[in-house]
Amino acid sequence: MRLSDDGALTIPDFAGNLFFNTLGNILENGLAGLVFADFETGAPLPLSGDAEVLLDSPETAAFQGAERLWRFTARRIVYRQDALPLQWTSRSEGASPNSLMTGNWRQAAERMKAAALANAWRTFRVSRIIDESEAIRSFHLEPADDAGLVPHEAGQHLPVRVTLPSEAKPQIRTYTLSVAPSDGVYRISVKRDGRVSAHLHDTLKTGDTIEARVPAGDFTIDPFEQRPAVLMAAGVGITPMLAMLRHVVYEGLRKRRIRPVWMIVSAHSLASRAFAGEIDALARAAGGAVHVIRVLSDTRGAELARDYETSGRIDIDLLTSRLPFNDYDFYLCGPGVFMQTLYDGLRALDNPMRAFTRKRSARRRSSVRRIAARTRNRCAPPRPGP
Ligand SMILES: Cc1cc2nc3c(=O)[nH]c(=O)nc-3n(C[C@H](O)[C@H](O)[C@H](O)COP(=O)(O)OP(=O)(O)OC[C@H]3O[C@@H](n4cnc5c(N)ncnc54)[C@H](O)[C@@H]3O)c2cc1C
């Protein structure tokens, strides 16, 4: 919360706070009482006064996940020294993870400043470099100016501008942010491929700078949708899916209901597979809401069940054999052939599956609700098949 010069407290609020009834009361009568505990001394500090809910403040968007703000102005403050015999010690994990995800007022001010630079190329400093697989390397980026990170949506990408040593004109490429908005950092994960990606791999070191614009793109996920999502990735197409999975799990934990996700990840080999540990940790944190199917084309050196669930490629047979009957939103990202084949297959599957399942039972309806797709060079959905 923020304490302003006039003595008012302002607090960002989101549904997981479970403040819904309280906010309704504030809207009804504009009065509230707050109690702060000094955990070290056990002294409570009750405050009573006026409260209002701010539904349209531009500051709301600067907090990750905040849906509104509310403001409190104390009329009466009573400091009750030694009123409680209780004292607490802070546990090692410290502040509430929900509050940490939401951010603080300093970050919100920086984000509002950064939003004003939306059309500018900004300089970012590389703060960490991690090899995720034999060909994919992650670069963590922090603003090198004094403005903050513009919050992104999970699945969006960052336009990056690089001048190659032998060229006068800069090259622009786009790299997906492979983190959730509440991670509070930008991370791009680049596969060594052609000129720019090889240049980033070969020359970029921790502390170096790179130019980027605000995150863009509408290939994003709604973490609060009830319908299960099937996230399918091949190769470096994992980057938006990982961002989406992180976002769904974080927001689900925050709001105590995780959108069910089937994460189907294919890689050529164990050595080329990225983020296996990260996905595994997210699935464990989600406690049953996230199902992971790992697909390997080349299984040499890999053990079934320990390293992968199935060999070959992601195809319609795999989906029909592994996914329970249900209504799904499908998200796909990978090379062109992977995208087109799955897109056509899902479109073709939709009607026959509906017809088939309706005959058996109206309740066991299985269908393709939405297909969102992105391939490396195109953001538009692939062409529908004939
Ligand atoms: C929305 C979006 C998000 C993306 N996200 C990611 C991401 O998260 N991670 C990621 O790694 N990439 C991502 N990309 C791809 C990325 O933007 C670049 O396209 C990629 O890194 C290749 O750029 P490059 O300069 O390295 O290759 P380029 O030099 O542009 O070459 C592209 C390809 O063409 C081949 N090629 C070039 N010249 C020739 C030639 N003369 N003959 C034959 N072949 C040739 C290269 O080998 C390479 O495979 C994304 C793209 C989009 C559109």
CATH number for position 135:
2.40.30.10
Which residue among 172, 174, 187 has the greatest number of ligand 1 atoms within 8 angstroms of its CB, and so is best to mutate?
174
| pLDDT tier at 370, thresholds 50, 70, 90 | low
Q: Which residues contact 379 (CB under 8 A, 6 or more apart)?
A: 217, 218, 219
Instruction: List the one residue out of 117, 34, 132, 136 whose CA is nearest residue 78.
Output: 34
- CA 197 / ligand 1 centre spacing (Å): 7
Closest ligand 1 atom to 239 CA = 8
247 and 356 assigned to the same domain:
yes
CA dihedral 307, 311, 317, 320 (to 10 degrees): -10
pLDDT digits over 143-156, tens only? 998 888 988 999 99
Write down the pLDDT at residue 85.
82
How far apart are alpha carbons 67 and 69 in whole angstroms?
A: 7
In a domain, 381, yes or no: no
281 and 308 assigned to the same domain:
yes
In a domain, 380, yes or no: no
203 and 285 assigned to the same domain:
no
Final residue in a domain of this structure, among 103, 129, 148:
103
182 and 237 assigned to the same domain:
no
Write down the pLDDT at residue 19.
66
116 and 99 assigned to the same domain:
no
Which residue among 186, 197, 213 has the greatest number of ligand 1 atoms within 8 angstroms of its CB, and so is best to mutate?
197
Contact 44, 86 (CB under 8 A): no
In a domain, 117, yes or no: yes
248 and 340 assigned to the same domain:
yes
199 and 267 assigned to the same domain:
no
Write down the pLDDT at residue 17.
67
**Which residue has the least CA distance to atom 34 on ligand 1?**
194
Write down the pLDDT at residue 309.
97
| pLDDT tier at 264, thresholds 50, 70, 90 | very high
Query: Is residue 337 classed as helix, strand or coil in its secondary structure?
Result: helix
176 and 236 assigned to the same domain:
no
User: How is residue 163 annotated by DSSP?
Assistant: -
Which residue among 163, 195, 376 has the greatest number of ligand 1 atoms within 8 angstroms of its CB, and so is best to mutate?
376
**Which residue has the least CA distance to atom 6 on ligand 1?**
175
263 pLDDT more than 50: yes
Contact 233, 261 (CB under 8 A): no
pLDDT digits over 314-358, tens only? 999 999 999 988 888 999 999 989 988 998 888 887 644 443 333
**Which residue has the least CA distance to atom 31 on ligand 1?**
194
197 and 239 assigned to the same domain:
no
pLDDT digits over 301-314, tens only? 999 999 999 999 99
328 and 205 assigned to the same domain:
no
Final residue in a domain of this structure, among 86, 103, 120:
103
Task: List C-alpha distances in Å: 49 to 1, 37, 68, 306.
Answer: 16, 18, 20, 59
**Which residue has the least CA distance to atom 25 on ligand 1?**
196
In a domain, 175, yes or no: yes
Final residue in a domain of this structure, among 212, 240, 272:
212
| pLDDT tier at 361, thresholds 50, 70, 90 | very low
Count of domains observed in the chain: 3
pLDDT digits over 185-236, tens only? 999 999 999 999 999 999 999 999 999 999 999 899 999 999 999 999 999 9
56 and 167 assigned to the same domain:
no
Which residue among 134, 158, 175 has the greatest number of ligand 1 atoms within 8 angstroms of its CB, and so is best to mutate?
175
Instruction: List the one residue out of 188, 181, 192, 233 whose CA is nearest residue 210.
Output: 188
18 pLDDT more than 70: no
Instruction: List the one residue out of 76, 75, 54 whose CA is nearest residue 1.
Output: 54
Domain that residue 347 falls in: 229-375
73 and 194 assigned to the same domain:
no
- CA 194 / ligand 1 centre spacing (Å): 6
pLDDT digits over 114-124, tens only? 888 888 999 99
| Ligand 1: lining residues by beta carbon, under 6 Å | 157, 173-176, 189-191, 193-198, 217, 236, 239, 374, 376-377, 379
In a domain, 201, yes or no: yes
292 pLDDT more than 50: yes
Task: List C-alpha distances in Å: 190 to 149, 233, 334.
Answer: 20, 15, 14
- Say if residue 2 is exposed, middle or buried (CB neighbours under 10 Å; 0-12, 13-18, 19+): middle
In a domain, 82, yes or no: yes
Extended beta strands in the chain, E state: 2-3, 8-13, 31-37, 44-54, 68-77, 122-131, 136-143, 157-162, 171-176, 186-191, 209-212, 229-234, 261-267, 290-296, 310-311, 327-334, 367-375
Neighbour tally for 284: CB within 10 Å: 11
In a domain, 385, yes or no: no
Tell me the angle at which helices 276-286 and 238-255 cross, rounded to the nearest 10 degrees.
Answer: 20
Write down the pLDDT at residue 37.
85
How far apart are alpha carbons 12 and 69 in whole angstroms?
A: 4
